[in-house]
Structure formats: C-alpha cells, structure tokens
Structure 1
C-alpha cells in the first residue's frame, strides 16, 4: 500500500559568524578610461554565484551595466581578504564591502562629471553608462567621466571594508543579539510511503525563502534547488556506517547521493523583505535552503503513516521496522 502525506519545515538562520567572532570583508574597485570597472575581492566562488553577485552590486552602485564589470577573486597575491565562503555570509558581508568601494569611487566620478558639465554634483546621477542631470540625460557617458578623472588626477579607485562582527551574548544570561541579520524559510513537502517496503518517494517541494532583496533571482532559485537536493539526501539516503571506527561507506558506491532522477519538482518562492543593513537590501541564501528540507520530509512521513523518525537518514529498513511495530 502507498500512502501520501504532507509535511512542513520552518527555520530561522543567522547570517555570518556572530557571537563576537571576527567577520569582515574588503574589496577594491577601479575604473578604466573606457568606463569598464575591475573589482578585486577575496570572495571564493564555489558555485554559489558570488562573482556575479559582486558584479551586479558594483554595476548598480555605479550606474553601469554588469557586463562592464570584471571581477578578480581569490588571488592571495592581489585580492583583499573577504573571509571564507561559509556561514551564508558573502552576499551580505562582501556585498556591503563592494557597495562601499563602488560608492567611494562614485563620489569622485560625480565630482568629475560636475566639472565637465559645469554644474553642482548634487543633481547628477549615473544610469546604464549614461550621465543624467536633474533627471535629464546629458551627452556625457561614464567613459567620458572616467577618462576625465584619470587624466586630471582625480580618484579613480575605491576601497570598501565592511565589519559584520557583532557583540557576544551575555555570558551569564546568554541573552543578546548575537547576529546582525537573519533569514527565514518555510518548506512544504509531499511524500509517498510504500508501507510494504518502507521506501519514501518525495513527490514535490515548495520552498519559500526570505532573502531580503533578490539581487539575482535565477541564482537564488538555483541555490534553493541545490539546497533542497542536499537536504533530501540527508533525510533519506546519506549515511556514514562505521565498524569499530572503520568506515564501511568509503565511496559513492556505498555512500549514496541523490541524482537528478531522485530530485522532485521544486517550486521556489522568493520572499523579498528588504534588510536595511544589507547591500541594496539583500541578505543571503546558502545554507538556509538545506535546513528545513529534512524536517519537512520527516513530518510528511509522519503525516502519511503515523510514525516518527528520530534518527536520520530515514532508510526503508527503519521505516519498515517502525511500521511493523505499529501493526502494518
């Protein structure tokens, strides 16, 4: 017999290290005479899309296009330290550092544009490589302004450093705001449980995540889908088996991972609740996409057949044993 159930998992996850641990990032931004920009950052790209995130933030702050930005990362000889790509911190911490660096450069570019136009800088804005004054497009381009700044000795580089280090909690009461920002998520899962074999099939997942402002919605969807796939493996099949300290699952032939055929349809719902302290209101995704998945699956199994799994993964053997005890 196959029975279906629906389960939910909710989570709140902090961005960065918190608890007084050092958590900072730096970046530099330089503009060439042709209006193209080079960003130096120690942020390591491990597939999460951080390099594109950096380009998008720099382009938005400077009023140019993302394709005008070249990002150089993770070179210990040339790039400033951005800290590790962990704790779902890079969009928030490095993103803020890049925005600060681009903002410093922008102030110099505004002064250069004001000189060329013969006006005060307060009315000038940059948008899509163009220069606007009091909302009206002028004949100047970002390349014109950048060339003028470089040729007249004005600042054509910007430096940004963002410190996300927060105070530790009170050692006596454990009370306090240990983190600067938090993300929130809820995931719903529908499963089918075969009561004869104990096999669980995840039919679909709906994942709603508060990411602040979505800088790159497509990349966010990718991170959510990847996180769900990881959480599915954690919940159902990934198991380290030891025999007197010796691993019996040393290769992927024994330690199973979800394949593309194991991953169900995933609906990603991006909730945009701007974070005032984040770069353009952004926070992060990363680990939060994985965290609610296993609880949602375990709750769905309970909803389907009334058994509570207390030790992961929920293998068919464990489920069948609990079903037998329940009288199935």
Structure 2
C-alpha cells in the first residue's frame, strides 16, 4: 500500500492546479451534428442531406417540435444551426446527461431525427429507408466537461480509488483504508486536499486524499449509485482482482442471451462484445456493442466472463 503522507503531499502540490482546471471549464452548450448517409455507398446522401437541412431551416423560427423532441431525449434545446446541420443543446442535471448518453449510444437520437426531418415520401420508399442512416456526432470531451461540472456543482458523487491507501497508525480511524479500484461516495470540499468519504464495500467513513480518486466517468453509474444506495453486494477482495475489477474494452459472453426487451442486446456464446463505458462490479447491466452485428444495447453483467475484459489503468495525473 502507498504511504498516505506521500499521497497527501502530492495532493497539496496539485490542489491549486485542480481548482484552476475546474474554474476554466465552463459548462457551455454542446453541439450535436448530423449527416445523412447511404449504407450501400458508405457516403453522404447529398439530396437527402439537403432535404434535411431545408426541413431544419423551416424549424428554426418555430422550434416547439424540436424542443419537445429533445425534451423527450432528456436534453434542452438552445438553438438550431440549419446551415451547419447542427443543434445546440445543454443539460441541467446528472439524470439528463446519463439518459441522453444512453439514448445516443443505443441509436435512439438518430432514429428520432430521422422521423423529425423526413416527410411521408421518404417513409413510403422502403428501399431508401433501409439504405439510409443518420449519423450523429458530439464532442465527447466537451460532454464529459459538462458532466464533471455538474458533479462539482452537486458536491456529492462517486469515485474509485486509483491506488491502495493505508491510514497512518497515529491517526487511526480518521482516514479510510482503501483497496485499488474500491468504490467510494465522496463529499467534495472546495480547496481541500482531502474529502470526506464512505466506502461502498465496508460502509466505513473517513478522509481520503483527492489525488487518489477518479470520478466514475459514466453518468449512469453516478445516477444509479445515488438512487440505489448500498454496497451493491460487493465484498472486499485484495486489490479487487478478477471479477471484482472495474473493466473496459472488450469482453466475451460465456452463454447465449436472447433479449427480453428491445433495448437489450442479442448475442451468442463466446461472442465478443465491446464495452461502451465501463463494467462496474455489482451493477446488473452495462451498454455493449456486438462485434458481429454492430448493434448496441444493454448487456447483463452476469453473462459475461469477468476475466475477459481489461481492468482500468488510470493514473493519478488524470484527475
């Protein structure tokens, strides 16, 4: 385990830089761009792109329909830029961000835009509909900035320990003892190098050095843990190895799964699944993408091989 004094010293050295970074990261609007593409030709469908742009231009001055659409997608419309085929959106709560991110990953945003931008002539042409897809893009880094800004505003969020931390014998009971990748709930204190925290594994309370923490970067995980508090059924393992590690990358299914809801993913035994975001021990679902079909959907955590994905390897400098 790492020496707590060394971590605290590092935290004090980095503290001013962390605060400056947060102050220089305003939660400005997020740009959502779209392009209409032909699946068969693998390029932009010029006529349909122009038709969509004209439709969007008509909606600029009377945008109630667009506002209602993005409200259903858990986002807030700020403006429309038809010439650039763009929407400006923003978020006010963590719940809005995780819902919108999920809809985006599942392809619902693209489907909704398709219904918004095309008229009945398009939908009557079955061959054209099958050949067309709307590609939606956002700045993931900027969305993450908005997300982290909301976490800071709320002041209470969930992190993982990026390293093992031991408390000094002379201050026993004041600080938390942490295993690497352990999940904890923290209460932020601006300008402080140590925050109050509660371990989701042991339920113990104490101080933790800021430099040893990494906020959970998937908005859904923050929302889930906040609305369903508890220890998530986790037990402490030394260094959280094997099935107790937070994972990313790709994983393998150890049995076949046939979806029960339309937003779930079908897959076969042994199939490779790309993890979108992270797999967190104790959470029953994560979002995955099939390597065979390219489809995206919810995947039950219990059906994947816990040793097939890569454990997270963030370093302390990434805070």
**TMscore range, shorter length:** under 0.3
Q: Tell me the TM-score normalized by structure 1.
A: 0.20
TM-score scaled by length of structure 2 = 0.20
Relative contact order, higher structure (CA 8 A, sep 6+) = 1
